[in-house]
Chains A and B, each alone.
Chain A
Amino acid sequence: GENVEQHPSTLSVQEGDSAVIKCTYSDSASNYFPWYKQELGKRPQLIIDIRSNVGEKKDQRIAVTLNKTAKHFSLHITETQPEDSAVYFCAAVLPLNTGGFKTIFGAGTRLFVKA
């Protein structure tokens, strides 16, 4: 069935360094890839997304890259700050034959930014 693998499960970086989180998806028909940030005890919130017709997207310190051939997409956070500490989830959205769609989430990456 559809699957999204996310690595690493835990990532610890020094403030100011970059952080990279990688995801791979199984179904090549997936065409929308959102990233969510979940702070402790709070709801997941979208931080950036990318559609399958784009290879890269950037928003200030965060960027996402997509390699459709490899079915691989990554989140890049530069100049990390302590407030970036959270769990990050990638997801792949797959259109269904019924006309609906299905969102498959990765297992999450717990990012620690040390001051």
Chain B
Amino acid sequence: DAGVIQSPRHEVTEMGQEVTLRCKPISGHDYLFWYRQTMMRGLELLIYFNNNVPIDDSGMPEDRFSAKMPNASFSTLKIQPSEPRDSAVYFCASSPVGMNTEAFFGQGTRLTVV
């Protein structure tokens, strides 16, 4: 397996534009997580899915952020409209069934909103 795959690796966009980040979890993993990492706030859990169903989205900062998981092999995180303070590295991670298991992270998407 190639691991968790995220795209794009880098994204530069203008304030006000819509941004869509994509993630393909490891096949067979039932849990998918979206994290945001900044120098100021560290690693923050935004939302996670279990069997394609959103379980906890309490970390989503604002209504501008939305996430979907239409099937077991694909998820998106969308920001609309984007703002400069959204600039960060966004990681997707997946875990197998069960809570006491390792989270496997993707390479991340570095988002810059200018």
Contacts and interface: CB of A to CB of B under 8 A. Distances in A.
Interface of A: 31-32, 34, 42-46, 49, 51, 89, 93, 95-96, 98, 100-108
A44 B42 contact: no
A49 B56 contact: no
Contacts of B99: 32, 93, 95, 100-101
Interface centre among A44, A51, A95 (most CB of B within 10 A): A44
Interface residues of B, number: 18
B42 A105 contact: yes
A100 B100 contact: no
Interface in B47-71: 48, 50, 55-56
A46 B103 contact: yes
B56 A102 contact: yes
Chain A interface mostly: strand
A44 B91 contact: yes
B42 A108 contact: yes
Interface centre among B55, B100, B105 (most CB of A within 10 A): B100
Contact of B102 (A43, A49, A104): A49
24 contacts: A31-B100, A32-B100, A34-B103, A42-B107, A43-B91, A43-B105, A43-B107, A44-B43, A45-B105, A49-B102, A89-B42, A89-B43, A93-B100, A95-B99, A96-B55, A98-B55, A100-B48, A100-B50, A102-B56, A104-B45, A105-B43, A105-B44, A107-B42, A108-B43
